[in-house]
Amino acid sequence: MYNNNNQAGDRQMYKGTWTCSQCGAEITELPFEPDGNRPLYCRDCHRQQRQSRPRRF
């Protein structure tokens, strides 16, 4: 599933036009099909969201 660069190798990407829920940036590709019920974040905002969450063990 992952190659040597720690990136998904065969992961299906979904192309479309969406808007980041936090900053309003255009998103053109996602690694999942959005369901419309949850917010979408661009790469930068997603990284910020992950860093601000407490870690689960």
How many Å separate Cα 22 from the centre of its chain? Answer: 12
Digit-by-digit pLDDT tens for the chain (57 residues) are 444 455 556 889 999 999 999 999 999 999 999 999 999 999 999 999 888 887 777
In a domain, 35, yes or no: yes
pLDDT reported for residue 42? 96
Q: How many domains does the chain have?
A: 1
pLDDT reported for residue 24? 97
CA distance 34 to 8: 18
The H-or-E segment that residue 47 falls in is helix 43-52
In a domain, 27, yes or no: yes
In a domain, 28, yes or no: yes
In a domain, 2, yes or no: no
Termini Cα distance of the chain: 23
Task: Considering only CA atoms, give the Rg of the chain.
Answer: 13
